[in-house]
Amino acid sequence: MDLKQLIKTSATQLELAKLAYGHGTFNAQDEAAWLILWQLKLPLDLDLSEDLLRIQGQVSALNSSLHVTDIAPAHLNACQALIAQRIETRKPAAYLTQEAWLQGIPFYVDERSIVPRSFIAELIADGAFDGWLSETSHTFLDLCTGNGSLAVLCALAYPDIQVTGADISAEALAVAKINIEKHHLSDRIQLVQSDGLQGLSQKFDCIVCNPPYVCEASMLELPDEFKAEPQLALAGGTDGMSFIRQMFKDLAQRMNDQGILVLEIGNEREHFETAFPRLEAVWLETSAGEDQVLLLTKEALLQVFANQ
């Protein structure tokens, strides 16, 4: 069996098993290619055909001219075992490979933190909120840092900043530490265990935050792949706004005068606008649309939360 045939038959198996995606790929074909290429230690952006293979943050081309006719039996068995494991466990592929890619940057991941996939990563890469920053914006906070991916991406994108990554989970922070060391950023990113903003005393120029925001009704319908992730990272209470509501009470105090918050809220825009009808948010466009990530200035926050 050649590489293309192996990916094709594996994709068919994944398709028949009716898996859920969204942890780096969005369909069976890309998921199969990712797992097989990883297992064979081939680059994920290997040319395999003319079709585009999209692995979040990585775009690779499948080139029909490439035929790997001799996949050794031991390698073939290993690939088939990995595909079977994906089907049987329903765990996200990244937990099986312990590797996730975001904006072309590799991250270590295991079940102590969620798989990196925040849309804020796109905005950092595109410089989408640069217009709200200035030459004096040096202090960043990645609140709910989890695996540390957003802290790392911020530090890589802005070489002059210092980043604090905060999370309530010691287990997630252990994963973040691995990623910070992997990217040699220990001198620019510090980790703090903190329940919301409580453990922080500094003020920041820019706060990025991908908090737990999944509402109760959606939590009940999560596919197994998402149930394999720490529920603390996902569950946002009845309307998904529990963490955010609490955070807003103290947020302005943790921001410098020109400070901004870049906040991901997933599919919860309706709940967000119902909970905070007077907040003047700027909605930032990502590949998922204009409803997933918003920006708030300190000024906008103070207009609503000044007396709390």
Ligand X SMILES: C[S@@+](CC[C@H](N)C(=O)[O-])C[C@H]1O[C@@H](n2cnc3c(N)ncnc32)[C@H](O)[C@@H]1O
Smallest gap from residue 213 Cβ to ligand X (A): 7
Please identify, using beta-carbon distances, which residue of 38 and 243 lies nearer to ligand X: 243
With beta carbons less than 8 A apart as the criterion, state whether 293 and 129 touch. Answer: no
CA angle at 292 for the pair 287 and 295, rounded to the nearest 5°: 110
In sequence order, the 6+-apart residues with CB closer than 8 A to the CB of 262 are: 120, 123, 129, 206, 207, 208, 209, 284, 293, 294, 295
Return the bridge partners of 102, or none: 105
Q: Output the smallest distance, CB 215 to ligand X, in A.
A: 14
Nearer to ligand X, 24 or 116 (CB): 116
Pick 76 or 96: Cβ nearer ligand X: 96
Complex with ligand X: residue 39 or 147, whichever CB lies closer: 147
Nearer to ligand X, 85 or 246 (CB): 246
What's the min distance (Å) between Cβ of 128 and ligand X? Answer: 16
Task: Output 4 or 112, the one with its CB closest to ligand X.
Answer: 112
Q: Which residue is nearest to ligand X (CB)?
A: 146
Can you read off the two tokens belonging to residue 277? 């009808």
Inter-residue contact 109 to 99 (CB < 8 Å)? yes
The amino acid sitting at 298 is K
- Least distance CB 196 / ligand X (angstroms): 5
Q: From the CB of 91, what's the least distance to ligand X, in Å?
A: 16
| Contact residues: ligand X, CB under 6 A | 113-114, 116, 118, 144-147, 149-150, 167-169, 172, 194-196, 210-212, 232-233, 243
Shortest Cβ distance from residue 299 to ligand X (Å)? 25
C-beta of 67 vs 249, nearer to ligand X: 249
In the bound state with ligand X, the residue whose beta carbon lies nearer, of 17 and 232, is 232
Sign, Cα dihedral of 271, 242, 288, 252: positive
Q: How far is the CB of 172 from ligand X (least distance, A)?
A: 4
> What is the nearest approach in angstroms of ligand X to the Cβ of residue 114?
5
